[in-house]
Structure 1
Amino acid sequence: MGTIAASPTSLASPANQPPPSPLRKIAAVASIAAGIQFGWALQLSLLTPYVQLLGIPHKWAAIIWLCGPISGIVVQPLVGYFSDRRTGRFGRRTPFILAGTVLVVVAVLLIGFAADIGHRYGDRLDHEQPGRPRTRAIAVFVVGFWVLDVSNNMLQGPCRALLGDLSGDSQRLTRFANSLFSCFMGAGNVLGYLAGAQDGLHKFPLFRFTATPACDVYCANLKSCFFISAALLILLTVVAVAYVREQPWDPDTATDQSDELSPPTRANKSSGNSSVFTALRNLDRPMWMLLLVTCLNWIAWFPWVLYDTDWMGTEVYGGSSQGKPDRVRLYDRGVRAGSLGLMINSIVLLFVSLAIDPLARKLGVKLLWGIVNFVLGICFVMTIVITRVAEKEREKRSHGGGGAVVVEPSAGIKSAALAVFGVLGLPLAVTYSIPFAMASIYSHGSGAGQGLSLGVVNLSICLPQMVISLGSGPFDAAFGGGNLPAFIVGTVAAFVSAVGAATLLPKPKNSS
């Protein structure tokens, strides 16, 4: 069974798979995930407030975030397809990884200096025209934001594909490589959230230039964080690329067993009508089942990804992002508590990722993914329970106080909410590794290309993200507002994906 049916478009076969590479090389490539995820954490924690600082209305901020899934739908499959077929002297994945890193640096400069560039070309400062959008700065920011998402997608797909190449036909090593990638993602999250939480980075001598008349303290800190992010990514990428040298692929000589990375077959090189669309049409049943389960899994995840800190501020703490000052302050406290929860979640993700391969060998990949999806559903049920308990507690305090009482929830409710964040690190670690490992394994079974297979998996992540991003707001409003309607949808999707993972996914051949 396989990803893409064996045909003239197949890219590799088990017969010409090279032996697996040393673990140190796999670790060097996987470490790039820390640099990528450092930037993602900064995006999640810092960029939405920065968008509003530039004058973009809050309701339009969500539209800007759609560039992530849109670029993921287009970029990753195309990059994967062409990286499978590249014949240049620097290998197949390395040029895309380097290009993605360069584009990240360009995007960081555009985003960080958007306010300065806008002011240089005519934007007025806030004290000159209070409340007026900085249109030129917004234009520079939007371009930089799109470039950042495109470059991140250029990086992730080839990095995971290179891990699959280095793992050879060893299913155990493929699972371990992807779990190590997940572990570095957790480390990048922790570093990113820690950096984003600092408010004095711009005071360091190295970053004093970041504060300008057009860029206030918040903006200067954001600049500093993104410079650190770019430097970390450049360092990790250069080390990995220099240490793990891809062998250039020659269709006439690339069938030797000693080749370090698995190449496409000669048949595919001579196929003139081969295209990404043809490859997608040829997807075999195992890959379709993997895409279905992954899609359901991410329908469950995205309501939480979009609204986790808002849930803490609104439902758990009882605050509001608008209205009376005391309610706004309570909401802010809840959001900060949610940020602490995300930090806990990232730490759990980091350590659980190291245990995925032993668990997969003991339970089997299908059962493991089914169990953690069931845990995901239970966690979402607990968000509903915690919300109701917090509401009853506020009602009780209000009656006891003779009117509306605006106070933080009890320590028990806070602890329960943070526990949900922490436990969710377990299914998140599996979500970040197992689907990609299975795509690589299926591609070895059929001779499909690593890059395209992993790019197609990304489609089943980006499409649910677009649906949830566009539909959750109206859906929540139709059922009385708040975050619980979207969480209920996530609960149902989590349980369905649990059943699908345990029953629908075909068992790979020669599984180990």
Structure 2
Amino acid sequence: MPSAAQWQGTPSVKGSTESMRMALLTASLIGLQFTWNVEMTYCTPYLLELGLTKSKISLVWVAGPLSGLIMQPIVGVVADRSTSRWGRRRPFMFFGTILVAMFLLLLGWTKEVVRYFIKDEAAAKSATIYVAVFSIYGIDFAINAVQGSCRGLVVDTLPIAKQQMGSSWASRMVAVGSLIGYGAGAIDLKNVFGPMLGDTQFKQLTGVAALTLCLAIGTTSWAVTERVLINDGAEEGKELDLKQVLGTIVHTALNLPRSIQAICTVQFWAWIGWFPFLFYSTTWVGEVYLRYDAPAEVKAAGDLTGKVGRIGSMALIAFSIITFVMSVLLPFFVQSPEEDEKGPGFSRPSKQSTGLAKYKPSLLTAWTTAHCIFAGKINRLNTSSSHSAHPKRTSIDLPEAQSNLEKGSAPSSSGGASSGQYLGIMNLYTTLPQFMGTGISWVVFSILEPGKSPELSEAPPEEHHKTDGPNAIAVCLFIGACSACMAVVATRRLGRIQGRL
């Protein structure tokens, strides 16, 4: 019969103050978010410049949900049973980071690498597209392994009483990573580093992203000491195999507690809304700029991918600033689970609440409000696509409320043997809707803009898509707004379920 898991050591984090320890524990998320931002901000215009159509690019972005669907649950389950003397999470973080950095550099220097091996111009152009897509898939698969391990490390290291604080700090570090990432993407890095990191903005940024990720993951890995799993309690001589891993994941996903299943439903609808915003907003802003506002000399100067990326990143800096400010302020203005009558529930304030505490909105109310604001903001984006004025872009994320909802209901504890498994299941509900988002965007682009980009592609004019009529990205954003409204309905249903528990 299986025995109880056996452990050695106690998890700890370096640092003289609690704030310092929390910052070091979650510092890895800065590098992760920086890397995601580079991919989401620059890769779509980069692929458009290489000659891919938007409909084909939407199929490339299936890499994100596919890698999340495969890597995070599997790595979570495998890491849960790891008996490495370095801990269960940090080995995956270390080796995954090396792979991400290598693929980032390959993506930035795709043209040079291909032309080193292939001299024929036509064949080199085709091969460049394949290598670029391969690099994106490599980045996504490797970084999902790293991301799942980083999240698991936070859960493993903190006691239950500190989990909510850990969620808050994780949200702040994600916001910091976004702010730094969009800031780096908005400035002309060639003027900062010169030719040292490459001759284009994209090369410079992939190099900076690789370095940032290595430093962030290295900082957290140095600061954290994991407890070591000696025996996971499985039957002696019974090895972990792929069938067992997949079986564990499926069984867990089909037997989630009602409250967690309800949270997953909210995640599902919300992420259909987030998908077009995250992957196409920079391209949308850049296209509007190049199509209506950019002077002729700007278009003729070359490195259009860098120009689109910088304009889009500048627009998204406001988004990242709002995200950071809200991640800091929300814990003070939103009711915490400790103030709730039902402990880990999220519905009604305690009757003993006094002063301002009784006026604080619950986590569910804050989460619902965030969905409404997001739906309204991204719906407004599609109304200005035909105007020459620079688009205004603001939005609000609510990672703090979402993270607290997840942590408050997750049936895992600090260092729990199944923490990676449950985090992997939660991740399924952010990846599955991205498959739907990919399908939706593919249909929209295929109908409305089937040709190549007239702003970025060097293809002859007859191969370009038309610029009159509805903007395809704007239509995708409108569909995302409708999905965010469905997330509002699902969040209210979660409130009713919590009220009956």
SS in 2 for 1:27: helix
Give the aligned partner of residue 398 of structure 1.
none
1:256-295 matched pairs, under 5 angstroms: 266=233, 274-282=244-252, 283-284=255-256, 285-295=258-268
1:184 to 158, 161, 173: 173
Taking a change above 3 Å as real, the CA distance of residues 102 and 509 of structure 1, as seen in their structure-2 partners, is: farther
1:456-471 matched pairs, under 5 angstroms: 456-471=425-440
Deviation readout 1:239-272 (Å, 9 max, x if unpaired): 2112211121123xxxxxxxxxxxx6x3688987
CA contact (8 A) 2:331 2:400 kept: no
* Letter paired with 1:375: I
Deviation readout 1:202-235 (Å, 9 max, x if unpaired): 7736x43x55xxxxx32xx322222222222222
* Letter paired with 2:411: Y
Give the aligned partner of residue 331 of structure 2.
357
SS in 1 for 2:183: helix
Taking a change above 3 Å as real, the CA distance of residues 113 and 477 of structure 1, as seen in their structure-2 partners, is: closer
Match status 1:149 vs 2:140: yes
1:20-59 matched pairs, under 5 angstroms: 22-59=18-55
Give the aligned partner of residue 239 of structure 1.
219
* Letter paired with 2:184: A
Give the aligned partner of residue 437 of structure 1.
407
Deviation readout 1:32-80 (Å, 9 max, x if unpaired): 1111111222222222333344444554333222211111110011011
Aligned identity (percent) is 24
2:185 to 180, 187, 196: 196
CA contact (8 A) 1:445 1:508 kept: no
CA distance in 2: counterparts of 1:248 and 1:448, whole angstroms: 11
CA contact (8 A) 2:12 2:226 kept: no
CA contact (8 A) 1:26 1:166 kept: no
Give the aligned partner of residue 257 of structure 1.
none
Give the aligned partner of residue 374 of structure 1.
372
Q: Which runs of 5+ in 1 are unaligned?
A: 1-6, 212-216, 252-263, 395-407
1:319-468 matched pairs, under 5 angstroms: 319=291, 338-358=312-332, 359-361=334-336, 362-383=360-381, 386-387=383-384, 408-409=388-389, 418=392, 421-422=393-394, 424-427=395-398, 430-431=401-402, 433-434=403-404, 436-438=406-408, 441-444=410-413, 449-468=418-437
Give the aligned partner of residue 482 of structure 2.
492
SS in 2 for 1:354: helix
* 152-161 or 36-45, larger mean C-alpha shift: 36-45
Taking a change above 3 Å as real, the CA distance of residues 17 and 493 of structure 1, as seen in their structure-2 partners, is: farther
CA contact (8 A) 2:86 2:228 kept: yes
* Letter paired with 1:147: G
* Letter paired with 2:272: I
Give the aligned partner of residue 397 of structure 1.
none
SS in 2 for 1:91: coil
Aligned alpha-carbon RMSD (Å): 4.1
* Letter paired with 1:83: A
Give the aligned partner of residue 465 of structure 2.
none
Taking a change above 3 Å as real, the CA distance of residues 59 and 367 of structure 1, as seen in their structure-2 partners, is: closer
Give the aligned partner of residue 62 of structure 1.
58
* Letter paired with 2:425: V
CA distance in 2: counterparts of 1:80 and 1:307, whole angstroms: 30
CA distance in 2: counterparts of 1:10 and 1:450, whole angstroms: 16
Give the aligned partner of residue 167 of structure 1.
158
SS in 1 for 2:229: coil
* 300-309 or 114-123, larger mean C-alpha shift: 300-309
SS in 1 for 2:188: coil
Taking a change above 3 Å as real, the CA distance of residues 378 and 140 of structure 1, as seen in their structure-2 partners, is: closer
CA distance in 1: counterparts of 2:4 and 2:330, whole angstroms: 30
* Letter paired with 1:153: N
Calculate the TM-score normalised by the size of structure 2: 0.75
How far residue 350 of structure 1 moved from its aligned partner, in angstroms, is 1.4
Q: How many residues align?
A: 438
* 138-147 or 73-82, larger mean C-alpha shift: 138-147
CA contact (8 A) 2:189 2:205 kept: no
Deviation readout 1:300-331 (Å, 9 max, x if unpaired): 222333443455567x889579xx989x99x9
CA contact (8 A) 1:20 1:168 kept: no
CA distance in 2: counterparts of 1:204 and 1:301, whole angstroms: 33
Taking a change above 3 Å as real, the CA distance of residues 84 and 185 of structure 1, as seen in their structure-2 partners, is: same
